Amino acid sequence: MFVDTVKLTVRAGKGGNGIIAWRREKFIPKGGPAGGDGGNGASVSLKASAQFYSLENFRNHRIIKADDGQQGGQSNRKGRNGKDLTLYVPLGTIVKDAQTEAILFDFTEASQEYKVSQGGRGGKGNTHFKSSTHQAPYQFTEGTAGEIKEITLELKLIADVGLVGMPNAGKSTLISTVTHLPVKIAPYPFTTLRPNLGLLAYKDHARILLADIPGIIRDAHNDRGLGLSFLKHIERTSVLLFLIDISGWEGRDPWEDFLLLRHELQAYDETLLQKPFLVVLNKIDVEGAEEHAETFRKAYPFDPATLFVISAQSGEGLKPLVHAMAELVMENKTAALPL
């Protein structure tokens, strides 16, 4: 299950208490204090990993609790420290304060680490309170509490190619065909309710990550439909791929669909239109699609080399497209996928 936002309560471990104890060895009268210190509580950290693409691991674990430090022991034995807890999150995860929405950390590279909650310090045993005038102290300190933080984790996918299109444009079909990813496909709008991710491997061992962003509709930038929930995933893709249904399904105008997609991206974040892009006319195998494609070509104001005509269903035209995606990603890659 794809999860891109979770709220967590993170509790670091409490420090163990120091103790009062005495040396009780034969032939050593008045042995003096021997109370050990408590161990430190465990801290909680987040670490970015390229092996994860969703926050689903946190879906049923909204309270994270680290180990407490152990109490000190006799003979000045220090209590065991709590074992620090490291939680792995996908690249592109943003850590926010759940109350203020302030951004605490942004994971953009693999292996980056951020300490969310600091563990408590262990208390002092009575040995620490011995002095020349105070030989038998009955004093100790308790361990301090670990930090408690309420945070929100928000994932903005870092993918090489983001597929952008209207509902039923064929994004799921395309990504499943080129990456052999089993996804739900049906002949009605709004099939995709969450982003699908696929890894496209090449013979030279290069690989690029594709993100199938759920269908964009008019006023998506105003959070209509799936709206802002998934527009945010386009922000960090290196390359955009506009997928247009060229069949004229239900009387739609493919050129108007293209303009609408560009408008919604611009209204959400105008810098998105500065990203390198390809435009793909899909479903060319449907009757009447060739005429729509010719009309689209005549209106297309950009470099013709960025325009492709395919059938994701039959595989027609996919080889040149797959090659062009790799070239464009390697030229403009801003978020390298660790190999």
- For residue 268, the model assigns a pLDDT of 84
Q: What is the CA radius of gyration of the chain?
A: 29
Structural domain includes residue 23: yes
146 shares a domain with 213: no
On whether residue 15 sits in a domain, the answer given is yes
Q: Does 217 score more than 60 pLDDT?
A: no
Q: What is the CATH number of the domain that holds 179?
A: 3.40.50.300
List the one residue out of 326, 322, 298, 328 whose CA is nearest residue 310: 322
Spatial distance between the Cα atoms of 282 and 246, rounded to a whole number of angstroms: 6
77: Cβ contacts below 8 Å, ≥ 6 apart: 36
> CATH number for the domain including 128?
2.70.210.12
pLDDT tens, residue by residue, 138-162: 999 999 999 999 999 988 777 789 8
Query: Tokens 């102290």 correspond to what residue?
Result: 137
**Highest mean pLDDT, choosing among 124-133, 204-213, 216-225, 261-270:** 124-133
Cα–Cα nearest to 144, from 68, 63, 85, 65: 68
Q: What stretches of the chain adopt beta strand conformation (E)?
A: 5-11, 44-49, 63-65, 85-90, 93-97, 103-106, 113-117, 148-155, 161-165, 196-201, 207-212, 239-245, 277-282, 307-309
Q: Which of 2-6, 53-57, 304-308 has the highest mean pLDDT?
A: 304-308
Segments forming the whole domain that contains residue 274: 161-332
304 burial type by CB count under 10 A (0-12 exposed, 13-18 middle, 19+ buried): exposed
Q: Is 124 in the same domain as 7? A: yes
Average pLDDT taken over every residue of the chain: 85
Which has the higher per-residue pLDDT, 56 or 123?
Answer: 123
Enter the tokens of residue 329: 């990603």
pLDDT at 35 over 70: yes
Q: Is residue 199 domain-shared with residue 272, that is, in the same domain?
A: yes
Show the tokens assigned to 63.
């309270």
Identify the pLDDT of residue 264.
85
For residue range 127-139, list pLDDT tens digits in order.
Answer: 999 988 888 899 9
What residues contact residue 60 under an 8 Å CB cut-off, 6+ apart?
Answer: none
Establish if 339 belongs to a structural domain.
no
Q: Are both 99 and 68 inside the same structural domain?
A: yes
Identify whether residues 24 and 117 lie together within a single domain: yes
Q: How many CB atoms lie within 10 A of CB 47?
A: 14
At 312 the three-state DSSP class reads coil
- For residues 286 and 176, membership in a common domain is answered with yes
Residue 90 lies in a domain: yes
Q: How far apart, in whole angstroms, are the C-alpha atoms of residue 106 and residue 91?
A: 9
Residues 48-65: b if buried by 16+ CB within 10 A, e if exposed: bbbeebbbeebeeeeebb
Whether 70 maps to a domain, the answer reads yes
Tell me how many degrees the CA angle 257-261-263 measures, rounded to the nearest 5.
Answer: 115
Say if 304 falls within a structural domain: yes
Q: Which of 155, 190, 205 is the last residue of a domain?
A: 155
Q: Give the tens place of pLDDT for each residue, 60-116.
A: 889 999 999 999 999 999 999 999 999 999 888 999 999 999 999 999 888 899 999
Residues 174 and 245 in one domain: yes
Torsion angles phi and psi, residue 330, rounded to 5: -65, -30
Q: What integer pLDDT is reported at residue 2 of this predicted model? A: 64
Query: Do 197 and 93 sit in the same domain of this protein?
Result: no
pLDDT per residue over 319-338, tens digit each? Answer: 999 999 999 998 886 444 33
> First CA to last CA across the chain, in angstroms?
24
Whether the predicted pLDDT of 305 surpasses 90: yes
Query: Do 110 and 218 fall into the same domain?
Result: no
337 falls within a domain: no
Contact 103, 96 (CB under 8 A): yes
User: What pLDDT, in 10s, does the model give residues 245-301?
Assistant: 999 887 889 999 999 999 888 888 888 899 999 999 999 999 989 999 999 999 999
Domain count, the chain: 2
For residue 226, name the pLDDT band (cuts at 50, 70, 90): very low
Residue 25's contacts (CB-CB under 8 Å, 6 or more residues apart) are 31
Chain-centroid distance, C-alpha 319: 30
Tell me: do 234 and 144 sit in the same domain. Answer: no
Same domain, 176 and 97: no
Give yes or no: residues 195 and 274 share one domain: yes
User: Which residue among 109, 128, 155 closes a domain?
Assistant: 155
Cα four-point dihedral sign 222, 223, 229, 230: negative
Q: 338 lies in a domain?
A: no
- Rounded to an integer, the average pLDDT of 21-49 is 89
Q: Which of 155, 188, 212 is the last residue of a domain?
A: 155
Q: How many helices (H) and strands (E) does the chain have?
A: 5, 14
Which residue has better confidence, 39 or 227? 39
Q: How far apart are alpha carbons 297 and 276 in whole angstroms?
A: 19
